[in-house]
Structure 1
Amino acid sequence: MKEEVKRSFWFNFLVVAATFTGIYIIFFWALGCLTHHGEMVKIPNLKGKHMNEAIAQLHDMHFDVHVDSTYDPLAKPLAVLKQVPDTGSTVKSGRIVMITVNSVTPMRVPMPNLISLSFRSAEMLLKNNKMFVGDTTYVPDIARGAIKEQRFKGHAIRPGEMIPQGSRIDLVIGNGLGNTDLNVPDLVHMTVDEATAIVNANNLILNLVVESGSGEIYDTPNAFIIRQVQKPLNDAGQPSKIKMGDIIDVFIKQKPEPDDYEGGNKPPIEAVKDKTFDPEDGN
Structure 2
Amino acid sequence: MTFKEFFKGQKSRFFWLNIIAMVGVVVLLITVTLYGIDSYTHHGEKITVPSITGMNSSKAAQILDEAGLAYEIVDSTYRKDMAPESVVEQSPTAGNFVKKGHIIYLTINQTKTPTIVLPDIADNASLRDAQAKLEALGIKTGPAELIPGEKDWVYGVKYKGRKISAGDRIPSSATLVLIVGNGDSHASADSASNKTAVAESEEPANE
Decide: shared fold, TM above 0.5. yes
| Cross-structure match for 2:19 | 10
2:197 paired with 1:199: no
1:29 corresponds, among 34, 38, 54, to 38
- Are 2:135 and 1:141 aligned? no
SS at match of 1:166: coil
Is the Cα–Cα contact under 8 Å of residues 73 and 130 in structure 1 kept in the other structure? no
Q: Kindly indicate whether the alpha-carbon contact (under 8 Å) linking 2:69 and 2:104 is maintained by their aligned counterparts in 1.
A: no
Structure 2 CA distance for aligned equivalents of residues 95 and 150 of structure 1: 51
Aligned counterpart, 1:48: 54
Superposed displacement of residue 55, structure 1: 4.1
* Structure 2 residue ranges without an equivalent (≥5): 1-9, 197-207
Query: In the alignment, is the contact (CA less than 8 A) between 2:92 and 2:104 conserved in 1?
Result: yes
In structure 2, relative to structure 1, the CA distance for the partners of 1:85 and 1:31 (3 Å cut) is closer
One-letter amino acid of the counterpart of residue 110, structure 2? S
Tell me the distance in 1 between the aligned counterparts of 2:24 and 2:150: 100
Q: Secondary structure at the match of 2:173?
A: coil
Cα pair distance change 1:56/1:23, threshold 3 Å: same
The answer to whether the 8 Å contact 1:111/1:161 transfers is yes
Report the Cα distance in structure 1 between the residues aligned to 2:136 and 2:187, rounded to whole angstroms: 38
Counterparts of residues 82-97 of structure 1 (less than 5 Å)? 82-84=89-91, 92-93=98-99, 96-97=103-104
**What does residue 137 of structure 2 align with?**
129
Q: Residue 30 of structure 1 aligns to which amino acid in structure 2?
A: S
Per the alignment, residue 5 of structure 2 pairs with none
Contact 1:73/1:165, CA 8 A, preserved across alignment: no
Q: Is the 8 A contact 1:71 1:165 kept in 2?
A: no
Q: Separation in 1 of the partners of 2:106 and 2:182? A: 46
- Say which of 78, 97, 110 aligns to 1:103: 110
Structure 2 counterpart of 1:279: none
Is the Cα contact below 8 Å between 2:69 and 2:103 reproduced in 1? no
Question: What is the TM-score with the length of structure 2 in the denominator?
Answer: 0.62
Give the distance between the partners of 1:73 and 1:200, measured in 2 at CA: 48
* Structure index of larger Rg: 1
Q: Is 1:69–2:76 an aligned residue pair? A: yes
Paired residues for 1:249-260 under 5 Å? none
Deviation digits for residues 107-130 of structure 1, max 9, x if unmatched? 232112343332x66456445434
Partner of 2:159: 152
Does the 8 Å contact 1:152/1:168 carry over to 2?
yes
The answer to whether the 8 A contact 2:139-2:172 is kept is yes
Distance 1:64 1:107, change over 3 A: same
Please give the secondary structure, in 1, of the residue aligned with 2:80. coil
Give the TM-score of the pair, scaled to structure 1. Answer: 0.49
Q: Which has the higher contact order (CA 8 A, sep 6+)?
A: 2
Which residue number corresponds to residue 201 of structure 2?
none
Higher fraction of helix:
2
User: Offset of 1:200 from its aligned partner?
Assistant: 9.4
Deviations 1:54-87 (A, max 9, x none): 4445553635434311223343212333444566
Write the letter of the residue equivalent to 1:29. Answer: D
Which of 110, 117, 120 is the equivalent residue of 1:113? Answer: 120
- State the identity as a percent: 20
Q: In structure 1, how many angstroms separate the alpha carbons of the residues matched to 2:189 and 2:53?
A: 60
Query: Which amino acid in 2 is paired with 1:23?
Result: V
